[in-house]
Amino acid sequence: MEKITLFDKTFVPYISNARINEAIDKVAARMNEDFKDSKDIPILLCVLNGSIMFTAELMKRLRFQCQLVSIKLSSYDGTQTTGEVSTTMDFTAPVKGRRVIIIEDIVDTGNTIVELKKLLKDKGADDSYVCTLILKEESYKKDEKLDYVGISIENRFIVGFGLDYNEIGRNLPDIWILDPES
């Protein structure tokens, strides 16, 4: 079996780029249907750094006008979530009075989503939606609705397609899982 090593961890293939693209196609089709008659221009909120690849691929498929805004949050240390969400870069444009579609690479505990929804409300956004490429279903226990989910997975540590291990591995076109044998 093919393996890669990032720092001190070994990973094996988990989700192919083809499957990722199929999931993005389905999410984009649903969003295009939901936003096709929009009179306003919704914001796509790219949560940096992990969501860059997903946001870029999703935007190519969207058929409605949208504005790209970014924010950078942090909640991971190595392979573990810290449970604390901190803002390391604020919104790159105002969100007041706007509909915002949060674009996440992965949702697990949901702490980031809860914090983002609170920030958007505090900054005066009219409404917000959540779109994630990956959902760790068994880890997600929050009440916030996830409007668009690409792929649901078990609670395992993954890298690739924007997801990282200590800031590396984001550039991998496929998603890799921590090798259970290592």
For residue 76, the domain's CATH number is: 3.40.50.2020
Q: Do the domain assignments include residue 164? A: no
Q: Do the domain assignments include residue 171? A: no
Based on the structure, what is the number of domains in the chain?
Answer: 1
Catalytic: which of 40, 77, 108, 122? Answer: 108
Q: Do the domain assignments include residue 35? A: yes
Q: Do the domain assignments include residue 68? A: yes
Q: Do the domain assignments include residue 93? A: yes
The pLDDT value recorded for residue 79 is 57
Active site residue 108: yes
Cβ neighbours around 31 below 10 Å, total: 23
Q: Do the domain assignments include residue 139? A: yes
The CA distance from 130 to 80, in Å, is 22
Global pTM value: 0.94
The pLDDT value recorded for residue 138 is 95
Q: What is the DSSP letter of 100?
A: E
Range of the domain at 104: 17-154
Question: What are the 10-residue block averages of pLDDT along the chain, 182 residues in total?
Answer: 95 98 98 97 97 98 98 72 81 97 96 95 98 97 96 96 96 96 81
Q: Do the domain assignments include residue 5? A: no
What DSSP assignment string belongs to 149-181? EEEEE-S--EEBTTB-BTTBSTT-SSEEEE-TT
